[in-house]
Homo-oligomer: A and B are copies of this chain.
Amino acid sequence: MRLPVPLSGVVPPLCTPLDASGDVDPRSLAALVEHVLAAGAAAVFALGTSGESAHLSDAQRRTALRAVVDAVAGRVPVLAGAIDMTTARVLDQARAAAALGADAVVATAPFYAGAHPAEVADHFRRVREAVDLPLIAYDIPPAVHTKLSAATVLALAEDRTLAGLKDSSGDLGALRRLLLALRRDGLDRSFAVLTGSELTVDAALLAGAHGVVPGLGNVDPAGYVRLYEHARAGRWAEAAAEQDRLAGLFALVEAGDPALMSGGASALGGFKAALRLLGVIDCATTAAPQTPLPAAAVTRVRRLLEEGGLLP
């Protein structure tokens, strides 16, 4: 399926449901796909950070992506993360995603090894040349410890290496300046800017972003679709109110005790606990070595779902 040019709308970065033994649960993953498509998702993003891509073996990644492609069945595009350290490894991941039917590939700058901006650009060009799928750059400094510069992104948008950017940097000022530069260069019709910051989607859309890839959109995809549609229609007060409600719900990422577990384990555990409480997935297990959410945290997640209007 061809990726829209530019990609826009709500693109949930799908969680990867696991069973109690830690294996990928394709049935729950298919149910999650239905959950987000029923709400109006414009595409789905498998094997991203919310999909615990960093925690899944290659075999698990393949199982998960196959399940997503099968469940989506061509209704919307499937973006697939090709998360690995540097070019050769990303290429292997990207080729596997292409073979499994992904419609676009999402890749970060090199990590573990540092990289100069010229090397970062070369990295994306090599990936794009070797795999015949649209390529979206994933700017996620908390994970890869560098930020993609506007100059790099613009050069790669101009020469069509990149079809878009998923910006999880949290730097909305830089995002606005990038959007201005893309419009100045006539690239905003071909290059998609998607924010990954769940709490400032109204702001990103007001600045001209094309869409949103919200981890919290696993739990409440309908909320993000409403927010997106308010924004598209210029109903900014309503968009902000919806964003405020979602920001309240977002507290579920902090359900876990930071003295006992990582922020990631708390966030992923919170998303999965919510999806189980909503009846979407069967089991809230997160991948090792993430500490499981304790029962008290699950109670907190339930209360947040009630306050957010998602549970009675």
Interface positions of A (Cβ within 8 A of B): 22, 49, 52, 54-58, 60, 83, 85-89, 91-92, 110-116, 118-120, 122-123, 126, 142-145, 170-174, 176-177, 180, 197-200, 202-203, 206-208, 234, 236-237, 240, 243-244, 247-248, 250, 258, 260-265, 287-291
B85 touches A55 (CB 8 A): yes
Q: Are B288 and A123 in contact (CB under 8 A)?
A: yes
A180 to B248 CA separation, bound complex (whole angstroms): 8
5 extra A-B contacts, CB within 8 A, seeds A55-B85, A119-B290, A170-B172: A88-B287, A119-B261, A123-B288, A174-B199, A203-B203
Most chain B CB within a 10 A radius of its CB, from A22, A55, A237, A243: A55
Known contacts A54-B113, A173-B199; is A86 also within 8 Å of B244 by CB?
Answer: no
25 contacts between A and B (CB under 8 A): A22-B88, A49-B113, A54-B112, A55-B88, A56-B89, A57-B91, A83-B85, A86-B287, A111-B111, A111-B112, A113-B143, A114-B263, A116-B291, A118-B261, A120-B289, A170-B171, A170-B172, A172-B197, A174-B199, A200-B203, A200-B207, A206-B236, A208-B240, A234-B237, A236-B237
- Complex contacts, A58 vs chain B, CB 8 Å: 89, 92
CA distance A306 to B99 in the complex (A): 51
What's the nearest-Cβ distance from chain B to residue A225, in Å? 19
Nearest first, the 4 A-B pairs at minimum CB distance are A203-B203, A173-B199, A236-B236, A122-B289
Instruction: Please give, as numbers and ranges, the residues of chain B lying within 8 Å of A111 by CB-CB distance.
Output: 111-112
Chain B residues near A118 (CB, 8 Å)? 260-261, 291
Minimum CB–CB distance from A62 to chain B (whole Å) comes to: 13
A92–B61 Cα distance when bound, in Å, is: 13
Contact across chains for A262 and B200 when beta carbons are under 8 A apart: no
CB < 8 Å: which of B174, B244, B264, B290 contacts A176? B244
Residue pair A206, B199 in contact (C-beta under 8 Å) = no
Give the shortest distance, in Å, between A124 (CB) and chain B (any CB): 9
Look across to chain B and name the residue whose beta carbon is closest to the beta carbon of A207: B240
In this complex, the member of A172, A202, A248, A261 whose beta carbon has the largest number of chain B beta carbons within 10 angstroms is A172
Once the chains bind, are A144 and B112 in contact (CB under 8 Å)? yes
Q: Bound complex: CA of A197 vs CA of B200, how far in Å?
A: 14
Known: A57-B92, A173-B199, A200-B173. A113 touches B264 (CB 8 A): yes
Contact between B250 and A177 (Cβ–Cβ < 8 Å)? yes
B residues near A123, Cβ cutoff 8 Å: 288-289
Whole-angstrom CA separation of A112 from B93 in the bound complex: 16
Set of chain B residues within 8 Å of A247, measured between Cβ atoms: 173, 176-177, 180
Residue of B nearest to A171 (CB): B170
**In contact, B55 and A86 (Cβ under 8 angstroms):** yes
